[in-house]
Amino acid sequence: MTKVDKIPEPTIKRLAFYSRPLEDLLESGPPVISSEKLADSCGVHPAQVRKDLAYFGEFGVRGVGYDVRDLLREIKRILATDKPVYLCIVGVGNLGTSLIENENFKKRGYRFKAAFDSDPEKQGEKLACGLIIEPNHRIREVCREKEIEIGVIATPPRGAQRVCDLLLDAGVKGILNFAPMQVRTTGDCRVENVDFTVKLENLAYHLHRLDESEG
């Protein structure tokens, strides 16, 4: 099906990006969109859109464009988000709670099936979503039982590696890490890091740099 074995990493990132405006169009918008329009909504080059999609097949109609509904379905299929994905979260602080409640996760089929915290005060507590906070030592058992594929780390950096090890032991195949440090995993578990402050530092750098070039 695919043209090449190795799909560029940036392409995968952009596919997720493309799906955002497509979801909007699905509700209220024309049923067809051109690579140029879609590129505009995402801030990329039109040829980039076409090339990204071409890795996976021919989804468009020449002279017309892409059918919004079809394209969105294809992208979701490619990204494997056409079925629910089961998650667990470790660390139910402010951040953890906001992730569990997050509308975007729910909307896109990401389901939190378990929540863990090392703080005995919190263990046993029932969350708004109905989940009960369990102690970290149950990660292995619960994840295997509930067939959890992805673990979300929302602990302070100090405990992140320990939590990561527990998740690996539980057979989790992906980790979304919100702790501002690099966690080490084995080859068959992939990590994605979300570090807000990296983005802020990026902004800070460019803000300052702007001053320099103007001064």
Query: Which chain residues interact with DNA by CB under 7 A?
Result: 3, 8-11, 34-36, 44-48, 50-51, 53-54, 58-66
Say how many C-beta atoms besides its own lie within 10 A of residue 170's C-beta. Answer: 18
We find the least distance from the C-beta atom of residue 211 to its own copies, in angstroms, to be: 9
**Cα separation, 143 vs 90, whole angstroms:** 11
Cα of first residue to Cα of last residue in the chain, in angstroms, is: 54
Q: String of b and e for 69-87 (b: at least 16 CB within 10 Å)?
A: eebbebbbebeeeeeebbb
Residue 180 is a binding residue for its own copies (CB under 8 A): yes
CA-based Rg of the chain, rounded to a whole angstrom? 20
CA-CA distance, 52 to 146, in Å (whole number)? Answer: 35
Residue nearer to DNA on the CB measure, 10 or 93: 10
- Residue 10's binding partner among DNA, its own copies, none (Cβ under 5 to 8 angstroms by kind) is DNA
Q: Whole-angstrom Cα distance, residue 40 to residue 79?
A: 22
**How many residues contact its own copies, by CB under 8 A?**
60
Q: Which of the residues 55 through 94 are near its own copies (CB under 8 A)?
A: 78-81, 85, 93-94
Nearer to its own copies, 69 or 206 (CB): 206
The correct pick among 41, 48, 123, 161 for binding its own copies (CB under 8 A) is 41
Nearest to DNA of 3, 107 (CB atom): 3
Interaction of residue 28 with its own copies, rule CB under 8 A = no
* Best CA proximity match to 78, nearest among 62, 57, 61, 60: 57
Q: Where along the sequence are the contacts to its own copies (CB under 8 A)?
A: 12-13, 15-17, 19-21, 24, 41-43, 78-81, 85, 93-95, 97-99, 101-105, 108, 110, 149-150, 156, 173-176, 180-182, 188, 190, 192, 194-210
